[in-house]
DNA sequence: CCTCCAAGTGATAATGGAATTCATTAATTT
DNA sequence: AAATTAATGAATTCCATTATCACTTGGAGG
């Protein structure tokens, strides 16, 4: 099943309509897979392609896609949010260069070996790390 | 050496003055150690104490304290930044409850055992995690 | 194919956190 | 004490995001 059909199904299955703006945004995301885009990026690229979509709609659609698990929202150290397609079972994390802000992705298959191997594998000198575990605390588990 | 003296030294050593606003902000931070405060929180508490400090100064001071390693700036999933005192060698991370937003802190002594032990230790059901390593990429290492 | 209407859209205004400006004040140097 | 420099704070600006609300549209049911 094509990627776009798959996403389409998720939408329809959740009782949302497949509208033109949503399809256009989806296309931009697929065309730029692997990049980290802001809402504004997407809005601009659509305008450049001669298929403008209102900024409010872009934000609403990105939020919806996050809820449906189509997208991940990423917060780095700056003010804006970045979005990327959620590749199933390809959970990955980020190396962030403090000097140039380059972002390098890495998988989490070998959590215990990370600290040691990252430097070698990516030539990245780790000086700090931030880990957030998300889930449900003892008060909220059903 | 008292905590406040220690911080004072860091300031003076870096050629900054220990001014009244800076001291007041420091006091608020020490009084609320362990909490995660926003710039606005600090600004409000100072006003309530009858020792108001301009919001701009609060922001500038927090930024300065971060540079000097006195504070850490934390970005959770919402829009604002939170600040907490940096306790030397007590590097820790955060468990964030998706239901109530409670934040539980945990140390990183046993990185490899985390995933397994967290659930037991904190009664926290982990459903996702975000790891960011900060440092210098191959292009930027001197 | 047509009608209807909830769902969706988009221009614009509003919001809110953070950064900046700039005139004023405090501290330090000569 | 004059001059230079650092720091402050009220007000303004910036910028990402959200809310508002009149208008449009997709698609289910006739």
Do A70 and A86 form a contact (C-beta atoms < 8 A)?
A: yes
Residues of A46-84 as b/e, b for ≥16 C-beta within 10 angstroms? beeeeeebeeebbeebbebbeeeebbbebbeeeeebbbb
Indicate whether B111 pLDDT > 60.
Answer: no
Chain B neighbors of A135, CB-CB under 8 A:
95-98, 124-128
Domain boundaries, chain A: 3-85, 91-142
Indicate whether A4 pLDDT > 90.
Answer: no
Q: Which two tokens stand for residue B121?
A: 């230790």
Choice between A119 and B103, residue whose per-residue pLDDT is larger: B103
CATH of domain A91-142: 3.30.1490
B93 forms beta bridges with: B106
Do A56 and A49 form a contact (C-beta atoms < 8 A)?
A: no
CA–CA separation, A44 vs A54, rounded Å? 10
Rounded to the nearest angstrom, the minimum Cα separation between B50 and chain A is 32
Largest Cα separation within chain B, whole Å, is 51
- Segment of A107-116, B28-37, B82-91, B103-112 carrying the highest mean pLDDT: B28-37
Mean pLDDT of A63-76: 93
Domain A3-85 matching CATH 1.10.10.10: the answer reads yes
Mean pLDDT of all residues belonging to chain B: 86
| Residue-wise pLDDT tens digits, A15-58 | 999 999 999 999 999 999 989 999 999 999 999 999 999 999 99
CA–CA separation, A58 vs A53, rounded Å? 7
Nucleotides on strand D lying under 7 Å from protein C-beta: 6-11, 15-20, 25-27
Chain B neighbors of A127, CB-CB under 8 A:
134-136
**Is residue A67's beta carbon less than 7 angstroms from any atom in nucleic acid strand D?**
no
| Residue-wise pLDDT tens digits, B69-96 | 899 999 888 889 999 998 766 778 888 8
- Taking CB atoms within 8 Å and a gap of at least 24, the contacts of B51-60 are B51/B24, B53/B21, B53/B24, B53/B25, B54/B21, B57/B21, B58/B25
Rounded to the nearest angstrom, the minimum Cα separation between A129 and chain B is 4
Instruction: Report helix, strand or coil for A83.
Output: strand
Mean pLDDT of A1-15: 85
Mean pLDDT of B56-69: 95
Indicate whether A109 pLDDT > 80.
Answer: no
- Local confidence band at A110 (pLDDT 50, 70, 90 cut-offs): low
CA–CA separation, B87 vs B70, rounded Å? 8
Indicate whether B65 pLDDT > 60.
Answer: yes
CA–CA separation, B50 vs A31, rounded Å? 56
- Local confidence band at A124 (pLDDT 50, 70, 90 cut-offs): confident
| Residue-wise pLDDT tens digits, A79-94 | 899 999 988 767 788 8
pLDDT attached to residue A123:
82
């Amino acid at each position: 099943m094509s990627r776009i059909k798959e996403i389409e199904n998720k939408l329809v299955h959740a009782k949302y309509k497949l509208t033109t703006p949503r399809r256009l945004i989806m296309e931009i995301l697929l065309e730029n897979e692997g990049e980290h885009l802001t809402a504004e990026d997407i809005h601009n690229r659509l305008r450049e392609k001669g298929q403008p979509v209102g900024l409010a709609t872009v934000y609403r659609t990105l939020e919806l896609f996050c809820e449906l698990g189509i997208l991940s929202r990423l917060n780095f150290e700056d003010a804006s949010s970045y979005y990327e397609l959620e590749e199933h079972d390809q959970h990955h994390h980020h190396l962030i260069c403090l000097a140039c802000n380059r972002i390098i992705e890495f998988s989490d298959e070998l959590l215990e070996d990370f600290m040691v191997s990252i430097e070698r594998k990516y030539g990245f000198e780790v000086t700090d790390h931030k880990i957030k575990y998300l889930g449900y605390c003892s008060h909220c588990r059903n």
